[in-house]
Structure formats: structure tokens, C-alpha cells
Structure 1
Amino acid sequence: MTLVDLGVPSLAPTRPAPASGPLIDTFGRVATDLRVSLTDRCNLRCTYCMPAEGLDWLADDALLRHDELIRLLRIAVTRLGITSVRFTGGEPLVSRRLEDVVAATAALRPRPEITLTTNGIGLAKRAQKLVRAGLDRINVSLDTLDAARFARITRRDRLPDVLAGLRAAKAAGLSPVKVNAVLDPVTGLDDAVALLRFCLEHGYQLRIIEQMPLDAGHEWERNRTISADEVLDTLRQHFELAPDTAPRGSAPAELWQVTDKSGVAGKVGVIASVSHAFCSACDRTRLTADGQVRNCLFAREETDLRRLIRSGADDDALEAAWRAAMWAKAAGHGINDPGFVQPDRPMSAIGG
């Protein structure tokens, strides 16, 4: 069976992928972090992600069934060396099977770390259940603390629900609770200061993420976004920042030790995916809700594991296809290249 038969893009390297060992690419990067999208549906309509009317959601029969998803998770952990699994969407709390999937993942051996990225709506009711199922950590998306700005950015008046979700996550013992913020081009620098004060006060860890070209309308423009350097310059006007002493490793966020004028201390992370790309240290592989392996967030091609499963492929064939897909990973995402082309799928369909 050829790589093309397995669904691997025809541009794959001429040298074959290793048949065992770490999940490696031709540049020597080892993927140990799996991002799993459970659904492309979302209950917000963030302006930088999707249009006000939403998108055409995937049909139910296009989504991986529970048994198919757990099978792929088992292969990832037991055969490919995945040590961390993060569930994303769309909005993963929209998925009624979330707790069951978390529990099944926690039952794998060796047990991976299990994390979740969510907008926090509905989290207040489910945080304890998720912890009991085996969830280890959580990231909650929150771009502003101003109710009017929140409603404008998300097109929904749900800020109190997100704040309640944050409180519930902390009360359930998830630590640290991380807050992910994508800053509005107009008000974002003010929001960054307010968010950092809020997170220091409540014991959360703020992560500020540069806006990336992953919107459904393909309207992203670099000169309309806030860069990591602008964020840091602004924060230094209000806080004392010092580089974190812990090794960064493959973490996407550059961490800073932060102290406010009242002496409250904590950490803040800045994820400069566009202006200071960290592709050379990337350790991620991605599985979409419809069973496609993506070797990069910005990949233009995918490997269809759902088709292989439903055509009767055994675990060896699924493993080989996944290895070949990652072996073909490009050196970088290419956002800063003159010929960069945004992927067809928006973030909501790929998974964060």
C-alpha cells in the first residue's frame, strides 16, 4: 500500500517515515502533543473566527464516532508516543460526549495529560464532572472584561457565563486556570492591562495570543492586528516584567514574571505565532472532528483517517498513515512568506 493510498499528500518526502519510535518529521521535531477537535460547532460568533450567521456545520455522519475517536486516541498514545491530549472545538462543551471522551482518554496507559480549551460557556455546570472524568488543566478564552466589547467581539451577551466558568474551574481544583486572550485591534491594549490585573487578582494565568490568519472570511490583515511587542510595551507601562527563568521548551508562550504596583505577583504568557514564530520547536499533531490529521495549524493538506477506518484499515495502517502525515510536515507555517496562502478551513473547523 502506498502513501497516497493511505491518504498522505502526494508532496510527502521521498524518504519513508520511520515505522516505529517517536512521531517525528524530517526536521527532527517530535510530536508529543495532540490537539483533538470534538466539534466544529460553537455557541459564539467571534468576529475574528466566523461570520455572524455562523458556518455550515459538519454533518453528524462526517464526525468521528465515539469508538473511532477512542481508537485513534489509543493509537496516538500507545503507538505514537503522545503524552498530552488537548480537546478543542469549535467549542468542545457543545459536545455532550465530552466527559465520556475525557474518561476514556484518562483510562489509556501510559496516561496522557488531558487538557481543554473552551470559551467557558456552560463550564460552571460541568467543571466538577470534567475533573472527575480526568481533566487535568483548562484554558478559557476571554478577550475582554468589558461587557459591551465582549458582546461586540463575540456577538453574544455571555460575559457573566464565562466569568462563572472561570470561578467554577478554579473551585474544581483545575490549576493553573489559564485565560486565552486574542486582542481586539482597537481596544485590545487597554483590555490586556485589565485582563492581567484581573488574572493576578484571581490567581489565573493570562495568555495573550497574536491574531492569526484563520478567519472564515479570509479577511485577516497583519497591519490590523496587535503584535506581541506592542503588548509587552504596553504591559511594561503598568507592571514590572522579567523573563521567566524556567526553560521554554516547546511551549508556545513566552512567559514573563509579572508584579503589579501593589506587589501582587504572577506570570503572563505571550504567544507570538505571527511575529516571532516558534515552528522550529513545535511538538503538535492535530486531529479534526471529522478524522483528518493535520501536521500544522496552517497545513494546506490533510490525511483522512476516518476514511481509512471506515474502509476497514487495521491499526498498523492507521499508524503508518499518521506517521507519514507528520513526516511530511513543513519547516514552518509560512505566514511571513510572500506566497503564503491561508488554509481553507477556519480555526473553528481545525481546532485550536
Structure 2
Amino acid sequence: MTESNALIDPFQRKIEYLRVSVTDRCNYRCGYCMPEQGVHPEGKHTEYLSFEELTRIIAAFTRLGVKKIRLTGGEPLVRKGLADFAHDLKQLPGLVDLALSTNAHFLDKHAAELAPSIDRVNISMDSLDANKFHHITRGGDLAKVMTGIDAALAHDIRPVKINMVVMKGTNDDEIETMVDFGIQKGVEVRFIETMPIGPAGVSMMDQHYAAEAILKRVKDHVGTDLIPSQSRSHDGPARNFKIAGTDAKIGVISAVSDHFCASCNRVRLTARGFLALCLGQEDGMDLRSPLRDGATDEELEALIVKAITMKPERHFFRENVHNIEFRQMVSLGG
């Protein structure tokens, strides 16, 4: 039943973007993402989909019209063999864009082998202050992240986008500093609102900082206009702006204050084979069980098409921040 662009949800949104969590393990413990002890500490290795299993599912998605894949986690670079996996995915017909989200701690070691396959990279970095960064990440090393950014640029994995989750009273005093860093380094900076996903995320909502307030501070700081930048397929949910008179760009992701559900074109596959249809709703489908029970490629495609018919219209982050405490951001890949 292979059919290009077969994934149209009940609200006429074309699903062309799949985020794939290759692991829910991470060497950092950012407070809005995961509990300090990690998640599923008792989990067995066999609970994770193998790279071969992931490739089969991803190939089914690309046959159905998905054009962009983002590899994420957890921290994807803690899983051995990621570069070979990325190389195999890059050969899939119909795949236009293969991206990576990482904390960059290990990126300097892997940038060279990833460069032929990865089209762009998003790097999580919530502070430019080493001590504050260590506190936010519960042990992270800012120097390693900086080295990873340099490695990505040196191996021409571009664009490099820096993702900063803005937290009132924690790092909101660094908005202007991060803008300056982006201009100086030649990287794009995206400011992200905290989201009430899982107990970790819900506990951080008192630090929520609205995107419009962020944009005002950026504009006041640069002293010039922020020019809306034309959306591209790899922009995802961000609203992007060019700083007038420069080549620098910044973006905001306003998942809570001004949701972008009407244009949502993505779903998420967890490392354990669950297809999550929305960050803020329970809707989804287990793909691991049918895959391991011997489903054919055609049967996998049929299951995916069926799942997309269950994609909800929107999340309800503002109405009820407690409706998704059952999930952890680290398992969903953001």
C-alpha cells in the first residue's frame, strides 16, 4: 500500500517529519527534562529497538512521504554505532533532511564521522556560565559543549542551532548574552519556553518565560528590527527572525504561550518503539510488538497510516499542565 504523502491526519495536516529517540539515556540531568536518577534505570537492553528495527520503521515512514528525520534522545551520542546508523538512513529514498539533536558533550569525537550523513545539528546549551551550566545540567561540562560546537562548524555540519530553554530566575539574565554569542559564533540561537511534560517539566512551570517577552528583550538589546524569516522545512515549530543589518538569526519556540498545533507536521518514535502523536496527549501506537511479531513492511505501513488518523488536534499545555505527567521529555525527544 506504499503511497507518497499518504500521511494526512484528521485535520488535513501532512505528516512529513519524524523525530526518532534512539535512547532515553543521557549523561546530563537537566531539571526540565528528566529526574536526577534518570529514567527506566531497570530497563533491559532488549527493550530498545535495534538500529535494524529502527531502520525498518523509518523506511516505512519515508515510503509514506516523511522527508525529514531527526535523531534525538536522551542523548543520541551515548548509543554506540550512531554514525553508521545515520549513514544507513541517509541512503533511504525520499529522505531529504537528516538532523541531529545533542547536548554536544561527545560531539567533538564524532563530528567527522557524522558529517557525511547529518545535514544540521541542534545543540542544547542553557547557559554560557560554566558554574550555572553545571548546575542546570546537574554535572554538565560547558567546555565540552563549546568544543562540540567548534567541531560541528569545523566539519561543516550546518546550520548549527543553539537551543536555550529560558527559565525565569535561573538563566533569563543570559538572553542578551546568548544573542551576542550567536552573532559572534555564526550560529542560530533559539529560545524555548519551558513545557509541562512529565513530573520534571511540570515542576519547572513556575519558571516559565513567555516568548513575546524574550523577543522584546532581544529587540531592545540589538537596537534594531527583528525581521520575520521565511519558514523552511527544517525550521520546525520555531518562529525565526533575522536581526536587521546582520546575517544573524534568532528563533523562539512558544509551545505554551502561543501554540503552533495548527501547523504540526511531526510525530515521535521512542527508543522502545512507541509512536507518540503529540507531546501533550496520550495518543499513540506500539510499533515494537507487531514488528517483533513478524509484521511485513506493508503491515507496518498500514499501522502507521492508522496511527496518524488518531493524531489529536492540539495539546492543552495552558489549560491543564498536569495532563501529561505520565511522560518524560527525555523519552520523547522534545
Fold conserved between structures, TM > 0.5: yes
Q: Does 1:228 align with 2:220?
A: no
Change (3 A) 1:343 1:321: farther
CA distance in 2, matches of 1:300, 1:258: 39
The one-letter code of the counterpart of 1:231 is I
CA distance in 2, matches of 1:329, 1:302: 8
CA contact (8 A) 2:196 2:324 kept: yes
Name the SS for the 2:221 alignment partner. Answer: coil
Partner of 1:100: 84
CA distance in 1, matches of 2:323, 2:90: 38
- Structure having the higher Rg: 1
Change (3 A) 1:308 1:173: same
CA distance in 1, matches of 2:79, 2:255: 28
CA distance in 2, matches of 1:196, 1:326: 38
Partner of 2:272: 290
CA contact (8 A) 1:19 1:323 kept: no
The one-character-per-residue Cα deviations of 1:10-32 (angstroms, maximum 9, x if unpaired) are xxxxxxxx984521111000110
Change (3 A) 1:181 1:339: closer
TM-score of the two chains, using structure 2 as the length reference: 0.93
Q: Does 1:328 align with 2:313?
A: no
The one-character-per-residue Cα deviations of 1:246-301 (angstroms, maximum 9, x if unpaired) are 24677311111115xxx654110011011010000011011110111111122313
CA distance in 1, matches of 2:329, 2:254: 17
The one-letter code of the counterpart of 2:238 is A
Q: Does 1:186 align with 2:185?
A: no
TM-score of the two chains, using structure 1 as the length reference: 0.89
Q: Number of matched residues?
A: 330
Once the 2 structures are TM-superposed, how far is the Cα of residue 243 of structure 1 from its aligned partner? 2.6
User: Which of 28, 48, 55 is matched with 1:63 structurally?
Assistant: 48
The one-letter code of the counterpart of 1:201 is Q
CA distance in 2, matches of 1:214, 1:55: 14
Partner of 1:8: none
Equivalent residues in 2 for 1:105-144, closer than 5 Å: 105-132=89-116, 134-144=117-127
Q: What CA RMSD, in Å, does the superposition of the two structures yield over aligned residues?
A: 1.9
CA contact (8 A) 1:241 1:256 kept: no
CA distance in 2, matches of 1:317, 1:178: 37
User: Which of 320, 329, 333 is matched with 1:347 structurally?
Assistant: 329
Range that drifts further, 308-317 or 331-340: 331-340
Change (3 A) 1:218 1:35: closer
CA contact (8 A) 2:283 2:311 kept: no
Partner of 1:308: 290
CA distance in 1, matches of 2:52, 2:294: 14
The one-character-per-residue Cα deviations of 1:186-213 (angstroms, maximum 9, x if unpaired) are 1433211111100110100001111101
User: Which of 58, 69, 76 is matched with 1:73 structurally?
Assistant: 58
Name the SS for the 1:167 alignment partner. Answer: helix
The one-letter code of the counterpart of 2:243 is V
Partner of 1:200: 183
The one-letter code of the counterpart of 2:60 is I
Partner of 2:259: 277
Partner of 1:318: 300
The one-letter code of the counterpart of 2:158 is S
Q: Does 1:41 align with 2:25?
A: yes
The one-letter code of the counterpart of 2:330 is S
Name the SS for the 1:34 alignment partner. Answer: strand
Q: Does 1:26 align with 2:35?
A: no
Q: Does 1:246 align with 2:230?
A: yes
Once the 2 structures are TM-superposed, how far is the Cα of residue 100 of structure 1 from its aligned partner? 1.4
Change (3 A) 1:267 1:282: same
Gaps of 5+ in 2: none
The one-character-per-residue Cα deviations of 1:201-254 (angstroms, maximum 9, x if unpaired) are 010000111110124446336443111011112112211232324246773111
CA contact (8 A) 2:33 2:201 kept: no
Change (3 A) 1:221 1:159: closer
CA distance in 1, matches of 2:115, 2:253: 27
CA distance in 1, matches of 2:193, 2:165: 6
Q: Does 1:89 align with 2:73?
A: yes
Partner of 1:6: none
